[in-house]
């Protein structure tokens, strides 16, 4: 199966070839034909499955076909994302895929001045990628009108609900035209997600890949049993005594992320922390440094990790195991993406054993124990 088989236009196929994408992922193969036919979609898919391209490519193609010479553009596609990082990542994808087309898009999110965002909006855009708070703010100020929307994407709906955005989402939905195509994506199909989906979707096609319990099949997983006070020494030992070029390290707290990053730097390992208390500029700089490999280790909390999409990331390290087993699956899904292999290492203390038990139960396998290390 190739992208040409999915009836994508040549400018999109050329852009995909430039990025080195030869064949579609399962979610793309299942979604793109239905979206091009105008159907609503309920997609159950995690990040790392190629979900952004699954909606971005057909939206670009449908808008290109309807493109007019009218000078003043109106927003025809709205993509709603839960975090700034994810919104920026989606925007980067639209830039890459749409480079051979004349469609304009912009991104609006909070935490930064609205001036540049308003400037882009006044210039006119076809596609808007937004986080709920800033979108509503700019709507109230009269800078954004949603009356011409033809395509509406709600991405990572489960995360939206987790972050308490349900009322904001309802306010946005109330301003959208009744006649539109809606694409709804979530990593889970929990009852509250299905309730929201049912209010939005008309006769949808359901597509599903990698349910949350099935961890990325190409990710090798292992665990180190260690005392809490030896975790920092173990992390330094692993990073100094192995060929790990690039690692994403997870902590449960913002303070923990800062402490781990500080300790790594003092041991000559270039690291940055990324979490909700960091300014937008600091988060973007850290992510950019990690992507272009000037930063070897990125230490992240779970809320900041959504939207971290790094090509060929070899290692994810769970410095602290998450309290929710599903979160472990999301974490390790940052590696082993788009057909490449990955390695997930986890540190487990005595009091984290119940979390490990829940993880093994969810993924239906025992994680390999690495007992040969100086801190076991």
For the domain 4-208, what is the CATH code?
A: 3.40.50.300
- Which residues pair with residue 271 across a beta bridge? 297
- The maximal CA–CA distance of the chain, rounded, in angstroms, is 68
Q: Is the pLDDT of residue 208 over 60?
A: yes
Residue 211: per-residue pLDDT: 57
Is it true that 4-208 and 219-369 share their CATH fold?
yes
153 pLDDT exceeds 80? yes
Q: Is the pLDDT of residue 276 over 80?
A: no
| pLDDT winner (highest mean) among 46-55, 83-92, 256-265, 304-313 | 256-265
Is the predicted pLDDT of residue 50 greater than 60, yes or no?
yes
Tens-place pLDDT, residues 27-41: 899 999 999 999 999
pLDDT at 48: 67
Alpha-carbon distance of 17 to 23, in angstroms, equals 9
- Look at 298 and 337; give whichever has higher pLDDT: 298
What per-residue confidence (pLDDT) applies to 181?
96
Question: What 3-state class would DSSP assign to 336?
Answer: coil
Rounded to an integer, the average pLDDT of 265-284 is 86
* Secondary structure letter of residue 121 according to DSSP: H
Give yes or no for residue 118 having a pLDDT over 90: yes
- For residue 112, how many other CB atoms are within 10 A of its CB? 15
CB 36 within 8 Å of CB 58: yes
Instruction: Specify the pLDDT at position 330.
Output: 78
**Alpha-carbon torsion (259, 376, 244, 233), positive or negative:** positive
Q: What is the Cα–Cα distance from 1 to 240, expressed in whole angstroms?
A: 42
pLDDT at residue 306 in the model: 59
Question: What percentage of residues in the chain have a pLDDT greater than 90?
Answer: 55
Considering the chain, what is the average pLDDT of its residues? 88
Instruction: Answer for the pair 80, 153: CB distance below 8 angstroms, yes or no.
Output: yes
Answer yes or no: is pLDDT of 238 > 90: yes
Q: Using DSSP, state whether 194 is helix, strand or coil.
A: helix
Backbone angles phi, psi at 17, to 5 degrees: -60, -40
CB 312 within 8 A of CB 48: no
Using one digit for the tens of pLDDT, what is the confidence trace for 348-374? Answer: 999 999 999 988 888 888 899 998 888
pLDDT of residue 47: 67
Does 86 have pLDDT greater than 70?
A: yes
Q: For the domain bounded by 219-369, which CATH number is listed?
A: 3.40.50.300
Question: Which pLDDT score is estimated for 119?
Answer: 94
pLDDT at position 266, please? 94
Task: Give the model's confidence band at 176: pLDDT under 50 very low, under 70 low, under 90 confident, else very high.
Answer: very high
Neighbours of 374 (CB within 10 A): 10
CA-wise closest residue to 135 among 179, 81, 215: 81
Q: How close are the terminal C-alpha atoms of the chain, in Å?
A: 47
Name residue, tokens 């553009």: 73
Specify whether the CB–CB gap between 44 and 206 falls below 8 A: yes
**Radius of gyration of the CA atoms of the chain, in A:** 21
Nearest by Cα to 320 from 254, 272, 373, 270: 254
pTM of the model: 0.66
Cα dist from 15 to 49, 177, 340, 359, whole Å: 19, 31, 21, 39
160-174, 186-200, 272-286: the lowest-pLDDT one: 272-286
Highest mean pLDDT among 68-77, 139-148, 325-334: 139-148
Instruction: Collect contacts of 226-230 with beta carbons under 8 A, ≥24 apart.
Output: 226/347, 226/348, 226/349, 226/373, 226/375, 226/376, 227/349, 227/350, 227/375, 228/349, 228/351, 230/375
Which are the contacts of 199, defined by CB distance < 8 A and separation ≥ 6? Answer: 173
- Mean of the pLDDT values across residues 64-77? 76
d(CA 224, CA 239): 14
Mark 357-369 as b/e (b = at least 16 C-beta within 10 Å).
ebbeebbeeebee
| Structure confidence at residue 210 as a pLDDT band (50, 70, 90) | low
Tell whether the model's pLDDT for residue 292 goes beyond 60: yes
Domain range list for the chain:
4-208, 219-369
* The pLDDT of residue 3: 84
């Amino acid at each position: 199966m190739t992208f040409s088989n999915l009836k994508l236009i040549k400018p999109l196929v050329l852009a995909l070839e430039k990025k080195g994408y030869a064949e579609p992922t399962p979610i793309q193969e299942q979604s793109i034909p239905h979206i091009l036919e105008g159907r609503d979609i309920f997609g159950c898919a995690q990040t790392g499955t190629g979900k952004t391209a699954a909606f971005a490519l057909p939206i670009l193609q449908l808008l290109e076909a309807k493109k007019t010479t009218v000078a003043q553009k109106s927003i025809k596609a709205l993509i709603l994302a839960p975090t700034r990082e994810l919104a920026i990542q989606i925007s980067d994808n639209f830039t890459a895929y749409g480079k051979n087309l004349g469609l304009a898009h912009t991104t609006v999110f909070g935490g930064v001045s609205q001036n540049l965002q308003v400037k882009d909006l006044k210039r006119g855009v076809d596609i808007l990628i937004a986080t709920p708070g800033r979108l509503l703010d700019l709507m109230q100020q009269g800078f954004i009108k949603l009356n011409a929307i033809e395509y509406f994407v709600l991405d990572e709906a489960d995360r939206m609900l987790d972050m308490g955005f349900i009322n904001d989402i309802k306010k946005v939905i109330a301003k959208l035209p009744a006649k539109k195509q809606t694409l709804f994506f979530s990593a889970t199909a929990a009852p509250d997600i299905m309730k929201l989906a049912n209010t939005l979707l008309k006769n949808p096609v359901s597509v599903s890949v990698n349910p949350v319990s099935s961890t990325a099949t190409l990710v090798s997983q292992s665990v180190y049993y260690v005392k809490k006070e030896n975790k920092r020494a173990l992390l330094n030992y692993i990073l100094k005594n192995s060929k790990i070029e690039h690692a994403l390290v997870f902590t449960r707290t913002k303070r923990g992320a800062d402490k781990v990053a500080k300790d790594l730097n003092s041991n000559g390992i270039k690291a940055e922390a990324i979490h909700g208390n960091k300014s937008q500029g600091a988060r973007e700089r850290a992510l950019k440094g990690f992507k272009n490999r000037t930063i070897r280790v990125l230490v992240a909390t779970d809320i900041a990790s959504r939207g971290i999409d790094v090509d060929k990331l070899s290692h994810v390290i769970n410095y602290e195991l998450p309290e929710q087993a599903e979160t472990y699956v999301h974490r390790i899904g940052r590696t082993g993406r788009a057909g490449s292999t990955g390695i997930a290492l986890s540190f487990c203390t005595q009091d984290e054993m119940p979390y490990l038990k829940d993880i093994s139960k969810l993924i239906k396998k025992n994680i390999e124990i690495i007992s040969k290390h100086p801190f076991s």
